[in-house]
A and B are shown apart, each in its own frame.
Chain A
Amino acid sequence: MAKHHIEATVNGDAVEFLCETEETLLDVLRDTLNLTGSKEGCASGDCGACSVMLDGRLVCSCLVLGCEVSGRQVETIEGMAKGESLHPLQQQFLKSAALQCGICTPGVLVASKALLERSPDPTETEVRYWLAGNLCRCTGYDKIVSAVMDAAATMRKG
């Protein structure tokens, strides 16, 4: 069976790739496009470590087929920093020690960025419920939530 030939945009760059029907977007990102920043924690949409943006919508890339992204825009963790400038969220996570092992961090950052783009002044509860799909086993979420709220404040100042 011939593979699908897909053209899409990833982090602003035009890409093309071949994939089998059953390959997920996560498989394609990691194994074909060598973008290993998105992680596989469960392959069933329960942990959020594979979070990416698809046409501006936060999704689990393990729940999207590679062939579904034809003509679409994908944004991954690798596209979050602009050149040498880290995104305020990335900077705040470092300042606040909001990561320990770091495996959940790419997914959490992508999800947090999606939140702040929609809701620039979220409450602690809103942050926690928005991030409920991003499992972290190391931090207990405390410093993650603080970092998101502090980054939001920084970003509101412009």
Chain B
Amino acid sequence: MRYEAPESLEGAVALLASAKDARVLAGGTDLLVQMRADVLDPELIVDIKKIPETRAVTEEKGGWRIGAAVTGAELKEHPRLKKVWPGVIEAANLIGSTQVQGRATMGGNLCNGSPAADSVPALIAAGAVATLVGPKGKRDLPVEDVMLGPRKLALEKGEIVASFFLPPRPARSSDAYLRFIPRTEMDIAVVGAGVSLTVDGAGIVTAARVSLGAVAARVLLVAEAAQAIVGSRLDAAAQERLEAAARAVCRPIDDKRGTTEFRIQVAGVLARRAALIALDRARSN
């Protein structure tokens, strides 16, 4: 098994394109576990942490560009990100433990291809766009189009996620991410809900995005759930519509972490609760 740590995106792409079975190493919190469990046995590991674009957090065109290999802990310590995107930051910092957050990255969380990934619903709700770099060059893909199914990505051979772009925020906007786990920490999300919204001066929701994780084969962007609350003050009726819309799109599995009926029921509850938190934050922004 070879290990390379290229210092440029082109170098990483060339290495990934050349080997038959190569894996990207960012935080390693999924890759190393799968290697130890004999699920993966790559011939080449490409460590991307020496590539500056994957590690930078910069303001860009009024929005934020976050490198794919920035850790959750680093995101939490950034002086300004938490104020603009509290939902994204809290999602990234729910992954695993303090130790795991010291290494885990949003790029890895997305590319591990688990529909239960914590940071993905928050990124999708935020309208984040992934910038991919590959043998054919650069392209952008909305995050909701990157994960196609469990362990199935829309990446071509040799392509990696280099960074995420979070769009500029209108005033009175905020987001929130909630997940359901049976304990208080350390569990994989049984349901994850990310909501991002904007309100006007009168308290009416003018824009919203709702994303659900762990309730289908991929992380869902739920347009109907957003429609349910846009134009409302998130009153009781709007909340009920939101819950119903969230539940309607769920196609979860029955597994050791939760039953189908449980996931469907809780998806509605979390979508509502996340929306209320986002609303509360947006009003004070």
Contact = CB atoms under 8 A, between A and B. Distances in A.
A20 B99 contact: no
Q: What's the dominant secondary structure at chain A's contact region?
A: mixed
Given A58-B99, A64-B28, A132 B184 contact: yes
B102 A59 contact: yes
Contacts of B25: 65, 68
**Central interface residue in B3, B36, B99, by most chain A CB within 10 Å:** B99
Interface in A38-72: 43-46, 48, 51, 54, 57-60, 62-65, 67-68
Contacts of A59: 99, 102-103
A1 interface: yes
Nearest to B184: A132
Contacts of B260: none
Contacts, number: 87
Nearest to B41: A22
Interface string B1-44: 11100000000000000000000010111001101110000000
Nearest to B34: A44
B97 interface: yes
Contact of B33 (A4, A44, A48, A132): A44
B96 interface: yes
B7 to A, nearest CB: 13
Nearest to B71: A57
A11 interface: no
A22 B99 contact: no
B47 interface: yes
B195 interface: no
Residues of A in contact with B, size category: 20 to 34
A118 to B, nearest CB: 9
B2 A21 contact: yes
A133 B45 contact: no
Nearest to A4: B3
Interface string B68-109: 000101000000000000000000000011111011000000
B103 to A, nearest CB: 5
Contact of A63 (B1, B28, B73): B28
Interface of B: 1-3, 25, 27-29, 32-33, 35-37, 45, 47, 49, 71, 73, 96-100, 102-103, 184-186
Given A20-B1, A44-B36, A48-B99, 18 more contacts: A44-B33, A45-B29, A45-B96, A45-B99, A45-B100, A48-B97, A54-B102, A57-B71, A60-B103, A63-B27, A63-B32, A65-B3, A68-B49, A114-B98, A129-B185, A132-B98, A133-B186, A134-B97
